[in-house]
Amino acid sequence: MDIGVSKDTARASAARAARQSGVRMRQLDSTASSHACERFLCEVWQTGPDHPPLAGDVVKAMADAGSYVVGAFDEADGGDRLLGVCIALWGPPSRPGMHSHVAGVHAAARGRDVGFALKLDQRAYALENGVDRITWTFDPLVARNAHFNLRKLGGTADTYLTDYYGPLSDGLNADDESDRLMLRWDLLGEQAVAACDDGAAPDPAAPDPAAPAPGVLLDIDGGRPLTRRTEDRTVLVAVPPDIARLRAEQPSVAREWRPALRDVLGSLLADGARLVDFDRTACGYVLTRGEGR
């Protein structure tokens, strides 16, 4: 699909999403807004002011360099209250692309699709600048983010990254190892267009209502991970419905999930399995294994 033809459609989709969420997008390119962004990130990631996820001077420098540094502001509050932030970097000229480093929404704005509006604005911005792919990482244990990235945006992932960032001292990661999936968002791909422009999330996992349910390789038993065996080609790898709540209420149980998911999901992807969906009802990743299985 031609970028020139599609960028106007993408911008219209982004504008519609912003209206529906009641937000206005603005570049965070002033000294005041960059430091407001720093404070916002500290609040969302639950860090102290001495350890911001991204310092205000770095935010300002990225904005000045032409990176995507955008905030979503609440229209109901006169457009002054910051509800969400998304920051991304451009790739080198020889490999044009965009890597999204930080995206967060304030807890008070949950349920308003502010994150969706931000990502659609980012998609339109990338296409307007001749780029049709955005990448970012996300914690595969966070079911909400997996659903958002794979289903609501129509992205995909094929690389499991072990302890990618090293120790992260914030309130969200709870000193857990920073395993990540590398998300690839093909902005003009069939799944992304269906999710973002056509208003219908793709449904790749259920093309045939009569098809058998996938075999379960990683299950949940009393909150704990339970590894199972199956010879099915299509498999389900479960994750906790809310890992943040589990970390707060049962930290010892939560700690069992990282190595279990790394072993099962990481091994599947390393062996060439294809991640095709995130099943919100079963709360797990759906993958297809190779013909040799």
3-196 has which fold? Aminopeptidase (3.40.630)
pLDDT tens per residue, range 47-82: 888 889 999 999 999 999 999 999 999 998 787 899
The 8-class DSSP code of residue 27 comes to E
| Averaged pLDDT, 96-121 | 95
Distance between CA 90 and CA 110 in Å, rounded? 28
**What pLDDT does residue 202 have?**
52
Domain coordinates of the chain in residue numbers? 3-196, 215-288
Mean model confidence pLDDT for the chain: 91
**What pLDDT does residue 224 have?**
96
pLDDT band at 226 (very low <50, low <70, confident <90, very high): very high
pLDDT tens per residue, range 111-162: 999 999 999 999 999 999 999 999 999 999 999 999 999 999 999 999 999 9
**What pLDDT does residue 203 have?**
53
Q: What strand order describes the sheet that includes 156-161? A: 23-27, 68-74, 82-90, 98-105, 133-138, 180-186, 156-161
Distance between CA 177 and CA 262 in Å, rounded? 11
pLDDT tens per residue, range 148-200: 999 999 999 999 999 999 987 766 666 789 999 999 999 999 999 999 998 65
Which residues on adjacent β-strands are paired with residue 103? 86
Angle (nearest 5°) at CA 251 between 248 and 257: 115
